[in-house]
Amino acid sequence: MVHIVKLSNADIQQSDGSVILNNIHLTIGAGEFTYLIGKTGSGKSSLLKTLYASLPLVKGSGSVAGFDLKHISRRNVHELRRKLGIVFQDFNLLTDRNVEDNLYFVLQATGWDDAAAMDKRVGEVLSEVGLAAKRKAMPYELSGGEQQRVVIARALLNNPPIILADEPTGNLDPETSDDVLTLLRNLAKQHNTAVLCATHDYRILQNFPARIIRVMNGKLIDDEGAGLR
């Protein structure tokens, strides 16, 4: 299996420099759907921030999508993030732009300059998330579930090998949450995209079983209680 994420003997720091996860090991393979669970403040978000190089990896080794997290340069951080799809609980859509313009903005920011190619790609990702008819809609005209689908479409634009989802259903009702999880699971299968989904919603763990990584007492453990290697 190709490992999209690999951490070895890694310490994960918080933004103030304090270590919150110690000597952890983690691998996530292509196409693997994985949950990340743990109490508030346990280190889930710090781990995700380390994976997309918002926090530095100062001890141990780590790579994401082929980028060395320990020695990544500022220029390479930008290149790494082009290879990642990131989905947050808060949609972070540009409220003064319609759906397609939100997506065009990301394409332009990541180096696309062919108008026809951009138009085609926007159409493709909106079709994948079931929003082909909403290209001209403004964010305020969409439901919460539709806005999160736009966020997922945005995450797919550059065909990322991994999607990092931080509480993607946190602002959604149970039925809409199920729709979003189904979409993410299907995308992982169809595109061989790894998905790491941090969540507090234990209901979806039961409804959509998959590998679980538990953050507890400064360590990562798998759902069978063994340390991850």
Side chain identity, residue 157: L
Residue-level pLDDT at 229: 39
- Maximum C-alpha span of the chain: 51
How is the chain split among helix, strand and coil, in percent rounded to 5? 35, 25, 35
pLDDT for the residue numbered 75: 86
Q: What angle do CA 173, 156, 76 make, to 5 degrees?
A: 120
Predicted confidence at residue 38, as pLDDT, reads 92
Under DSSP, is residue 127 helix (H, G, I), strand (E, B) or coil? Answer: helix
Tally of helices (H runs) and strands (E runs) in the chain = 7, 10
Sign of the CA dihedral with 167 first, then 93, 135, and 86 last: negative
CB-CB contact of 131 with 146 (8 Å): yes
Comparing CA positions, the residue from 121, 123, 148 lying closest to residue 136 is 123
The pLDDT value recorded for residue 114 is 95
Quick one: which H or E segment has residue 61? strand 59-64
> What pLDDT is stored for residue 26 in this prediction?
96
pLDDT at 51: 96
Q: Please give the model's pTM, rounded to 2 decimal places.
A: 0.91
What pLDDT was estimated at residue 226? 41
Between CA 46 and CA 12 the distance in angstroms is 7
Helix (H, G, I), strand (E, B) or coil at 185: helix
* pLDDT digits (tens), the chain, 229 positions: 789 999 999 999 998 999 999 999 999 999 999 999 998 889 999 999 999 999 999 899 999 999 999 999 988 998 898 889 999 878 889 999 999 999 999 999 888 999 999 999 999 999 999 999 999 999 999 999 999 999 999 999 999 999 999 999 888 899 999 999 999 999 889 999 999 999 988 899 999 999 999 999 999 998 744 444 3
